[in-house]
Amino acid sequence: EAGVVQSPRYKIIEKKQPVAFWCNPISGHNTLYWYLQNLGQGPELLIRYENEEAVDDSQLPKDRFSAERLKGVDSTLKIQPAELGDSAVYLCASSLDRDTDTQYFGPGTRLTVL
């Protein structure tokens, strides 16, 4: 069974530039999560989707971050414009449904903002 796929794996951009991350969850997983992981910290939830609906986006900085999950399968997370402090690893995870706590993570996208 294929795992969670993320791309790109690494991204280096100048500050104020836009950037987008893509995630394809495990087939059949209805719930998709985007996490932010800073160096030396655990992952922190940015947004959770149940199918196409964003059910928890309370931690998403909406002035510069946006996300979508069209058709309830793959998802895109965007930052525009990027700031120096956005340098981190962006992780995508999926689970069968909201009550299944076992979340399966992708390899992440390491973003460096210069």
Partner 1 sequence: DQQVKQNSPSLSVQEGRISILNCDYTNSMFDYFLWYKKYPAEGPTFLISISSIKDKNEDGRFTVFLNKSAKHLSLHIVPSQPGDSAVYFCAASAIDNQGGKLIFGQGTELSVKP
Among 20, 26, 45, 54, binds partner 1 (CB under 8 A): 45
- Say if residues 90 and 106 touch (Cβ distance below 8 Å): no
Does 40 bind partner 1 (CB under 8 A)? Our answer is yes
**What DSSP character marks residue 42?**
-
Positions in 15-34 near partner 1 (CB under 8 A) = 31
Stretch that binds partner 1, among 11-19, 39-47, 63-71, 72-80 (CB under 8 A): 39-47
CA distance 70 to 68: 6
Give SS3 for 106.
coil
CA distance 75 to 87: 20
Tell me the site size for partner 1, rule CB under 8 A. Answer: 26
- Tokens 């981190």 -> residue: 88
Positions in 87-106 near partner 1 (CB under 8 A) = 91, 93, 95, 98-106
> Interface with partner 1 by CB under 8 A: which residues?
4, 6, 31, 40-45, 48, 55-56, 91, 93, 95, 98-108
